[in-house]
Amino acid sequence: MRLDRWAGGLDKAAGRTAALAVLAIAAAGIGIPPSRAAAARVLDVRDEGHLRFIVSDGSELLDEGPAQGTFTGKLRVHFVYNGEPAVSARFTISGHGGSISGKAKGTLSNPTSPDPSFRGVLTITGGTGRYAHIHGGGELFGVFIRRGPNKYGLTVQAIGKFPY
């Protein structure tokens, strides 16, 4: 009996030793490729764009123009306005190193004004290049310019912090 207990104890000790050896090897990095995880970066955005009207399709207006600020590049916005105070948009900004896409919802402050301002929230939906893993949300401010037929335009300002 004593010998059986001693052998059983030896098996448990051997199992613990093997487990500790595996942990030690893993900790030392022997036979395991090094981690390629990069430190998370954050894009602290404060951008503004003065966009010109390109084309419309019903209540959706396409506007394009340069974005200036933290993330400079070309901004393309599909702005949806159907006569109600609620507005929405899908956007893509393409710049050096990749692009960022998102969506936004907001409310016009004075829908009957020829140039109503709006405010809302934006959500990042994806990116390309160095911004492939970007996410997060922020605020969107702007002015919807609508003076005369086909004289539309947008001035937009985005503020947010987006990890990538």
Same structural domain for residues 57 and 118?
yes
Name the residue type at position 36: R
Full domain range(s) for residue 21? 1-37
Task: Say whether both 111 and 76 belong to one domain.
Answer: yes
- How far lies 70's CA from each of 18, 93, 130, in Å? 53, 12, 15
pLDDT for residue 27? 35
Predicted confidence band of residue 38 (pLDDT cuts 50, 70, 90): low
Total count of domains within the chain? 2
Judge whether 67 and 75 are in contact, CB under 8 Å: yes
**Does the pLDDT at position 103 exceed 90?**
yes
Six-digit token pair at 96? Answer: 């050096």
Same domain, 33 and 46: no
51 and 127 assigned to the same domain: yes
pLDDT band at 148 (very low <50, low <70, confident <90, very high): low
85 pLDDT higher than 50 = yes
CATH number for the domain harbouring residue 117: 2.40.160
**pLDDT score recorded for residue 83:** 86
Q: Are residues 20 and 83 in the same domain?
A: no
Which pLDDT does position 3 carry in this prediction?
44
Residues 72 and 1 placed together within one structural domain of the fold: no
3-state secondary structure of 23: helix
